[in-house]
A = this chain, B = another copy of it.
Amino acid sequence: MGKLDFSPIADTTRRAEIVALLRRAILTGQLEPGQKLNELRIAEQMRVSRAPLREAMRELVQEGILTSIPYAGTFVIDVTAKDIDDAYSLNKVLDEFAIELTWKLRDERFFDELDRRHEAVKQATRDLDTTRQIETALQLHGLIYEWADNSVLLETWQRLTSRLQMYFALHQHARNEPVPAEDVHETYVRLLKGQDMRAAQRHAREHIDLDFEELLAYARSLEQRTSKGGRADRAGRTNSA
């Protein structure tokens, strides 16, 4: 009797596919921050009615990458330097916690998966596929969250990830230079395999620092340019209690 694990079959609703499509478009920067999403046009392009499209948009609003103003429209969130800074500092705290939880649960399968994801990053780097590079790097980073066995923490991280990916993609789009050739993740992986938890936590902080500092500088420079032509000044309250 083979002990085969079947994974759940794909969600076959239009809504789910639309969510995936839109999310990808936003996270890769095809839809720019602040841009308005015209329901009619998008629905026509996707050959779908507005109902599932609107439901999909509601999901992405709650996911934090869209924002909705009643009777005005749904927009890709605006990226401010403060947003990035906020996400950055929270991420540091969560990382420390995730490493702590994961530490005792590491095993062979963990190390294997760690190597696999590390390899994916290196492959994307060789291919000069910056979008995929961001994606794989975040997946590598996310392993400690998946392994921590804390569903709420994982959810939180995934929400954060959406934004981080968007921020990084935005950054990449601007300066179209491929990211550093040297492997910045080498040390991270090595420490996660080692015995010194504190050292791993410390490095996670500093490693993130590196990426973010550059990102922040870019965001701040953007802020200068944008401030003159600011759009919607209405407070986009979406999560009113």
Q: Hey, which bits of chain A sit against chain B, CB under 8 A?
A: 8, 10-13, 16, 20, 51, 54-55, 58-59, 61-64, 70-71, 82-83, 86-87, 89-90, 93-94, 97, 150-153, 155-156, 158-160, 163, 234-235, 237, 239-241
Q: Hey, which chain B residues are within 8 Å of A163, CB to CB? A: 152
Q: Report yes or no: A152 in contact with B8, Cβ–Cβ below 8 A.
A: no
Known: A8-B237, A51-B54, A55-B58. 18 other contacts (CB 8 A): A11-B237, A11-B240, A20-B240, A20-B241, A58-B58, A58-B62, A59-B61, A83-B152, A86-B153, A89-B150, A90-B97, A90-B152, A90-B153, A90-B156, A93-B97, A152-B160, A155-B159, A156-B156
* Oligomeric state, in copies: 2
Q: Report yes or no: B64 in contact with A155, Cβ–Cβ below 8 A.
A: yes
Q: Report yes or no: A16 in contact with B70, Cβ–Cβ below 8 A.
A: yes
Q: Closest chain B residue to A55 by CB distance?
A: B58
Q: Report yes or no: B11 in contact with A151, Cβ–Cβ below 8 A.
A: no
Q: Report yes or no: B152 in contact with A86, Cβ–Cβ below 8 A.
A: yes
A28 to chain B, nearest CB (A): 14
Q: Report yes or no: B90 in contact with A150, Cβ–Cβ below 8 A.
A: yes
Q: Hey, which chain B residues are within 8 Å of A63, CB to CB? A: 62
Q: Report yes or no: A239 in contact with B158, Cβ–Cβ below 8 A.
A: yes
A198 to chain B, nearest CB (A): 16
Q: Closest chain B residue to A101 by CB distance?
A: B89
Q: Report yes or no: B90 in contact with A93, Cβ–Cβ below 8 A.
A: no
Q: Closest chain B residue to A62 by CB distance?
A: B62
* A8 CA / B234 CA spacing, docked (Å): 8
A34 to chain B, nearest CB (A): 17
Q: Closest chain B residue to A234 by CB distance?
A: B8
